[in-house]
Structure 1
Amino acid sequence: MNAILAERTNFTPLANGPDLARALDEANVPTLLAAYVHLSHNTDLLEQFAPHIRPAFSYPPTEIPDELADALRLKLRHLLTTGEGLASSEPSDALVQRIMSVTVGEPVDTEFVDLVNDQCGFRPWIDRSKLPDRPAPKAGFKVLVIGAGMTGMAAATKLREAGYEFVVIEKNPEVGGTWYENRYPGVGVDTPSHFYSFSWEIWPDWQHYHPHGADMQRYMTGVADKYDLRRDIRFNTTVEKLVWDEKSCTWTVTVRRADGQTEDLVVNAVINGHGPVNRPKMPDIPGLSGFKGPVVHTAAYPADLDLKGKRVAVIGTGASSAQLCGAIAPEVAELTVYQRTKHWVLYNPEIAHEVSEGMKWALANIPTFKEWFRFRVYWAAADGLFSNVLKDPAWEGNMLAVSEGNEMTRQYALGYMQQRFADRPDLIEKLTPDFPIFSKRIILDNGWFDALARPNVHLETQGIARILPNGIEAKDGSVFECDVIICATGFNVAQMVGNLVIRGEGGRELGEEWGAEDPRSYLGMCVPGYPNYFHTVGPNSAPNHAAGQNLISEAQVNWIIEALDRITEAGARAFEVEQDAFDAWNRKVDERMPQMIWTHPRANSYYNNSKGRVFLSWPWRLVDFFNATRRPEPGCYRLID
C-alpha cells in the first residue's frame, strides 16, 4: 500500500478557507498538477498541460495559460474540500511515470520509479523493523559510526531501525557536521532545500528554496530531536586509530575524549562518516604566517570576527568565496578577491527567494504535494542535468563543450554573465572560463556578481606573489593593504582517511595504500583487507554532475546494513569485499571516465588528482547509484566465520 494513501484511508477534507486559497494561488503549478493526478488518477488535465511544460533552464521557459492553471486549481480545491474524485488506490507505476514526465517537461524512464517512490516517501524501499522473517542482529554485535553529519545521522537512524547496537563518535558538541562547522557570512547550500534532506523526513518548513547554513543546521538538529539520536552519540570525542584483530574479528577504536584522555572501544564494525569536506586546506603562500591581522579559513570562521569598515582580502573564488563575498561586500570598506581559477556561474532565480507562506502551507497540508515537489527539485538539480557531463562522441561544435546540451547550458551561463556585466567588459574577460561548464563545480549566483560590480570590490587575477605583514603583494608588484585575510581555499579532499590510522589484516594501513591523493574502493565504501570497515562518501561516489549527496549517503547506509545483515543471516563474524570484485569495479570506473566531462583536456578540479585521475566523481546517474546499492551482489564479498 502506498504510504501516503494509507495515511488517507479516513480522508478528512481541508477547510475551504483563505489558507487553501492562498496555497493554491502561490504554490508551484506543475506540482499542484502532480498532486491532483496522484490523488484522483484523472489524467485529462495532465495531457492538457503536457504541451506547456518545458525542462528546467529551457528557453523559452515554461508558460502555463492562466485558464488552464485556474481549471486545475478549481478541480484540486473541490477534491481537497469534499473528497469527491479521490482515488481509492495508489497510482500505478505507469501513471507515476507519466506524472513525472509531464511535470518536468521531458521523458522520465521507468527505471526512475523505484527511486522516486523511495526518495519521495511514496513507498520507502525498506523498513527493516517491519520485516517479520528477518533474523535479529546478534546480541553484542556493535557498530561504531564516525561523525554525526548527514551520513552519520542517516546511519544512526537506520541502524536503530534495523535493531543494531551502535554508538556514534562526534568531535563537535552538536550534530550537523558541515553545517555545524561552516558559519561564515552567506554560507548556504547549492542543493535546493526540498531535496537536500532525508527521504524519511521531508520538511515543509524551509525558509528559502536554497537553505542558508543556519536553516540546514536547524533541520539537522530537528531531526536529531525527533528521532532521539543524541542518546547514542558521544560528543566532543575524536577518533584517532582503528586496528583490526583477525582472531576476534573486531576493531579496536582509539578515541580521545574531551578531557584529553584516550580510550579504546572494541566494536564489530565501523562506518566512517567523517566525509571529505571537514579538513580545511590552507594555501601555501610565502609570508602567510607573518601577516599581522587575522587569517581565517571559511570552514573555521570566528563568530566574533567583525568586518564592518575593514579592508578584507579573500583568497579563492569557488562556492564558499562567492557566498561569503556576496554577504560581506556591502559592509566592508574595501574587498579584494584573489582568483586562482575561473568558475562557471549559473543563475537560478529561486536561490534567493524565500518560500512564501502559501507555498509552505501547500507543502505541509496538501497530500502528496511536498513529495512531488521533492521529485521536481531532484530532477531539475540532479539527474535531469546528467547529459551535461556525458561526452557526445559526435560533438564537433567546439572545445568548450562536450555535447549540444552542454553547449546550450554554457551559452545560458555566458548570456547571464554578459547581461550582468554589460558595462564591465573587464570583468567578463576575467571571469569567462576556457573549459566546459560542469567540468568542475559550478557556482550558483546569490550575490556574487552583485559584489563584483560594487566600486569597493576588486577582482585580482594576477596571482599572489607573497603575503606581507600588512597586506598581499600580487605577482605584478601591486600591494593591497588589508586588515583581514580570509582563505576560501577548500578542503583536503583527496586524502580521504584524514588523520586517521586504519590498520587492517596483517597490519596493512589504509592511509599508506591510498597515499595522499589516490584512493580506491568498491562502490565508494569497501577495500579488501579491511573487513567490516565501511568508508562512506569514498572514492568515486560523489555526485559531481549536480546535487544529490543526501541520496548517496542514504544509499550507502542501505547497502552497509544489507552487508551487516548478510553476516547475521550466515551466523558469520565479518564481511569483506573480494579482491576480484574490487579490481573489476575499479576497471569499470576507469573505462567509464574517458566518456565523462571531467576527463576533458581543459578540465582540472579537486575531482582529479595531480596525475589527472578522477578519484572523486561518480560517473553515472544517481538512479544508477540507487540501483547498485539495494544489496551486495553475490560473489562480490566473502563472509568470515
Structure 2
Amino acid sequence: MGSIEESKSEAISPFLIPGLKFFTDPESDTRPGNVFSEKLHNDYHNNPETGYHIPFAPIGDPGNRRLKVITIGAGLAGVMLAYNIEKHCPNVELVIYEKNPTVGGTWYQNRYPNAACDSPTCTYQFNFAVDPEWEKFQSGSEYLRGYVAKVVKKLDLEKYMTFNSRIIEARFDDKKGTWNVKIEQTASDGSKKTLIDDCDLLLGAVGILDRWEYPKIPGLELFKGRVIHSADRTKWEQYTKDKWANDEIAVIGSGASAYQVVPGMQPHAKKVHSFLRTPAWFFAPSHSFGGDPRPQDYTSDRWLLGPDTEEEKALFRKDHGAMLKHAKANENGLMMMQHMMVKHDPAYHQARKIHPSIQEPNVDVHFTGISRVDENGVFGDDGTYTACDTIICATGFDVSYRPPFPLIGLDNYDLRKEWHTVPEGYMGLMAPKIPNYMMYLGPNCPVENGSITGLLEAIVSYTVKVIKKMQRDNIKYFVPRQDVTDEFNDHVQSWFKGTVWEENCNAWYKNRKTGRVDAIWPGSALHFRDAIEDPRWEDMEIKYHSYLGYGFAPMDLSTSPDADRSPYLKLENLDPRFYE
C-alpha cells in the first residue's frame, strides 16, 4: 500500500477554484495572496443595503488584521506585556504610555526611607529574566527600580514606550470597535500638550499602589511644617536624611509603609512620634523554615527560605537551575500559607515581640488616631497634643479600583463614576459595558496569595490568548456579560464567609464604605491560574467585524506545491487493526 505522501496529487492553483464569479490572472495580479480582482473587492465585499463589509482576508489568519494595542503604564505589568506581546503576537502595533519619565511603576514612585518589597526578591521577578544579583532576600525600592530598568534595556523594550504621558480620557466607539484615547504629555520645560490616539485593545496596567491618599484630618492644611505622603517621590528627594536630625517627626499610619518608614528614619531623626490607631502584628515566615542555608541544599529536595549569601549568589550565576529551584522553594513556601486565611483564635501567642525601632529612646508610640492638626502639631483622639516639625502621612493609596481618568464604554457608561462605591468586575480582569479593556490587578485579584509577578504572568498569558482570538476571529469587540459578572461577585463575597478577610477591621483590602472585600481572590494563587488559564468566551458578549472572511482558508491561497488541502488524510490517523 502506498503512503499518503506518495499519492498526494499536484497542488491545485487557487485561481482555478470553481464557482468564482470573478477571478484574476495570476500573471497580471501582483498583489501577494490576493485571489479576487479589485472589482470583486469593491462590488462584493460591501453591501450597500445593509452596510455589511466582508474583509479581503481568509479565515483564521492573524495576518488578516493588524491589531493596535495601547498599554497604560510601564511598571511590572507594562514591561511584562511588552515582552510577551513582542514574543507571541505578530502583526500587533504596541504603544505604552507612562506618566513618569521612566519605567518602574510603583518602585519609581515609592522612595520613602526603608521602602522595600514584602516578597522574597527571587520570587518578585519576571519569569523570563530571573536575576541572580538580587540585593538581599527582600530587596529595597532602589534595587527593584534598577532591575526593571535593566530588563527593559537588555531586552530592548523601551522602543514601545512613550514617557511623561498621562491618560486623561478614554472613550469607546462601538461603531468602529476602537478606543479613542486622550493623552496629556509634559515636555522637559514643563509645558503640556494633548494628543489623540486610538486602539483596538486597551490595557490598564496602572496598578493599585499608584495614587496616594492624604488622610482627611481637619486642619492638616494649616500645618506650617512639612507634610509629606510616604509615596511622594519629589518631596523625599528634598527631605533628605541630613534634615531629619533636627526634626521632631510625626508618622501617621499603621500599615506596611509606616512600618518601613519608622525604622528607616529612627536612627537619623531627633525624635519620631509613631501614631498607631490600630496596631499591626507581623508574621515572618521567610526565615522560620529550616536551618542555615548551604549551597548543596539548592541541588537537593530540601526547601530553604533564608537570606542569600555571596556564596549562594555565585552559585546562582553559574547554575540557573539552582537559582530557579531556590525561587520556587520560596514561592511554594508562601503559597502553603493558604490555610491561614481560615479564621483562628485571634489571640496569636507567637505575635508578642515588639519591633526594635519603637523601643529606641528617640521614638514615642501613641496608640491613638489623630483628631485634628494645628499650625505646630497634632491632637490625638485621646486628647494629647504633640508638637512636631514634619508630618509623614503613611496612609496608603486610593484602592477603589476606579481608573484615574474617565473610562467611557457602551451606553456612555463611565467606569470611574460607576465604581465610586462598589467595584464589581469580572474575574479581576474586566468590567461589563467596558469592551476591549483589561485590567492588571483589578478588583478581587489574588494580591495576597503569593508573588505578584506570578499573578501578572498568568494575566499576561490570558491577554496573549485574547489578542490571538481577536485577530483570528476578526472580533470587533468583546465584553463580559453582566449576569456572569453578578454570579462571579456573588461567589466571591460568599466565599469570604469564614475567612479572616471578613473580620471587622480597617484594612486596605476592605471597602471603607461598605465593608465589602474588594481586593482578595476567593482561593489560592494556583486556583486563580487554573481559573483563567483559558478565556471563557461563553462569558462574553462578542461582536464581529466579519469572522468568516471572504470564503477561503489560508491554505487555499498557497501556491506551494507542498500545500496540503486534505489535512484530514494523514498516515498517523490510520488504525492498523483495519488492515490486519
Deviation for aligned residue 1:529:
1.5
CA–CA distance in structure 2, aligned partners of residues 345 and 597 of structure 1: 15
Residue by residue over 1:585-629, the C-alpha shift from the partner in whole angstroms, topping out at 9 and shown as x without a partner, is 2222122121322113x3441211122111111121010111122
Please identify the structure whose Cα radius of gyration is greater.
2
Residue number among 95, 107, 130 corresponding to 1:167 in the alignment: 95
What is the match of residue 326 of structure 2? 373
* 1:306-321 equivalence runs, <5 A: 306-321=243-258
What is the match of residue 480 of structure 2? 577
What one-letter code is carried by the residue in structure 1 that aligns with 2:316?
A: L
Aligned to 1:618, the other structure's residue is in SS state coil
* 1:289-304 equivalence runs, <5 A: 289-301=221-233, 302-304=236-238
What is the match of residue 104 of structure 1? none
Residue number among 334, 337, 340 corresponding to 1:385 in the alignment: 337
Contact 1:522 1:582 in 2 (8 A): yes
What is the match of residue 282 of structure 2? 345
Contact 1:346 1:413 in 2 (8 A): yes
Residue by residue over 1:572-593, the C-alpha shift from the partner in whole angstroms, topping out at 9 and shown as x without a partner, is 2222222332222222212212
Residue number among 408, 425, 434 corresponding to 1:521 in the alignment: 425
* Structure with larger RCO (C-alpha < 8 A, sep 6+): 2
* 1:74-89 equivalence runs, <5 A: none
What is the match of residue 571 of structure 2? none
Residue by residue over 1:54-81, the C-alpha shift from the partner in whole angstroms, topping out at 9 and shown as x without a partner, is xxxxxxxxxxxxxxxxxxxxxxxxxxxx
What is the match of residue 458 of structure 2? 555
* 1:141-160 equivalence runs, <5 A: 141-160=67-86
CA–CA distance in structure 2, aligned partners of residues 465 and 527 of structure 1: 38
What is the match of residue 503 of structure 1? 408
Deviation for aligned residue 1:465:
2.6
Deviation for aligned residue 1:342:
1.6
What is the match of residue 350 of structure 2? 412
Residue by residue over 1:402-421, the C-alpha shift from the partner in whole angstroms, topping out at 9 and shown as x without a partner, is xxxxxxxx33323xx1xx5x
What is the match of residue 210 of structure 2? 278
Q: 1:138 to 1:295 in 2, by over 3 A?
A: farther
Deviation for aligned residue 1:543:
2.6
Q: 1:285 to 1:142 in 2, by over 3 A?
A: same
Which shows bigger deviation, 180-189 or 461-470? 461-470
Indicate whether 1:636 and 2:562 are aligned.
no
Residue number among 375, 398, 403 corresponding to 1:469 in the alignment: 375
CA–CA distance in structure 2, aligned partners of residues 140 and 256 of structure 1: 26
What one-letter code is carried by the residue in structure 1 that aligns with 2:255?
A: G
Residue number among 271, 276, 283 corresponding to 1:334 in the alignment: 271
What one-letter code is carried by the residue in structure 2 that aligns with 1:155?
A: L
Higher helix share: 1
Residue by residue over 1:190-240, the C-alpha shift from the partner in whole angstroms, topping out at 9 and shown as x without a partner, is 011000111111111102000111111111111111121111101000001
CA–CA distance in structure 2, aligned partners of residues 622 and 476 of structure 1: 42
Q: 1:168 to 1:566 in 2, by over 3 A?
A: same
Contact 1:466 1:474 in 2 (8 A): yes
Aligned to 2:339, the other structure's residue is in SS state helix
What is the match of residue 152 of structure 2? 224
What is the match of residue 265 of structure 1? 197
Which shows bigger deviation, 549-558 or 176-185? 549-558
CA–CA distance in structure 2, aligned partners of residues 469 and 605 of structure 1: 30
What is the match of residue 587 of structure 1? 490
What is the match of residue 115 of structure 1? none
Indicate whether 1:612 and 2:515 are aligned.
yes
Identity %: 28
What one-letter code is carried by the residue in structure 1 that aligns with 2:318?
A: N
In the alignment, structure 2 segments of 5+ residues that lack a partner are 1-58, 289-304, 545-580
Task: Supply the RMSD in Å over aligned alpha carbons.
Answer: 2.0
Aligned to 1:256, the other structure's residue is in SS state strand
CA–CA distance in structure 1, aligned partners of residues 155 and 383 of structure 2: 57
Contact 2:441 2:447 in 1 (8 A): no
Deviation for aligned residue 1:354:
6.2
What is the match of residue 246 of structure 1? 174
Deviation for aligned residue 1:348:
5.3
CA–CA distance in structure 1, aligned partners of residues 60 and 278 of structure 2: 53
Contact 1:347 1:413 in 2 (8 A): no
What one-letter code is carried by the residue in structure 1 that aligns with 2:384?
A: S
TM-score under structure 1 normalisation?
A: 0.69
User: How many pairs are equivalent?
Assistant: 458
Aligned to 1:452, the other structure's residue is in SS state helix
CA–CA distance in structure 2, aligned partners of residues 450 and 385 of structure 1: 26
What one-letter code is carried by the residue in structure 2 that aligns with 1:377?
A: N
Residue by residue over 1:140-198, the C-alpha shift from the partner in whole angstroms, topping out at 9 and shown as x without a partner, is 31000000111111111111112221100100001000000001111101011000111
Residue by residue over 1:89-117, the C-alpha shift from the partner in whole angstroms, topping out at 9 and shown as x without a partner, is xxxxxxxxxxxxxxxxxxxxxxxxxxxxx
What one-letter code is carried by the residue in structure 2 that aligns with 1:412?
A: Q
What is the match of residue 469 of structure 2? 566
Which shows bigger deviation, 551-560 or 203-212? 551-560
CA–CA distance in structure 2, aligned partners of residues 257 and 247 of structure 1: 28
Residue by residue over 1:289-344, the C-alpha shift from the partner in whole angstroms, topping out at 9 and shown as x without a partner, is 11111100010042121212311111112111111111110111111011121211
What is the match of residue 436 of structure 1? none
CA–CA distance in structure 1, aligned partners of residues 229 and 480 of structure 2: 38
Deviation for aligned residue 1:367:
4.6
CA–CA distance in structure 1, aligned partners of residues 272 and 365 of structure 2: 9
Indicate whether 1:358 and 2:311 are aligned.
yes
Deviation for aligned residue 1:264:
1.0
Deviation for aligned residue 1:280:
0.5
Which shows bigger deviation, 299-308 or 369-378? 299-308
Contact 1:558 1:629 in 2 (8 A): no
In the alignment, structure 1 segments of 5+ residues that lack a partner are 1-132, 402-409, 421-448
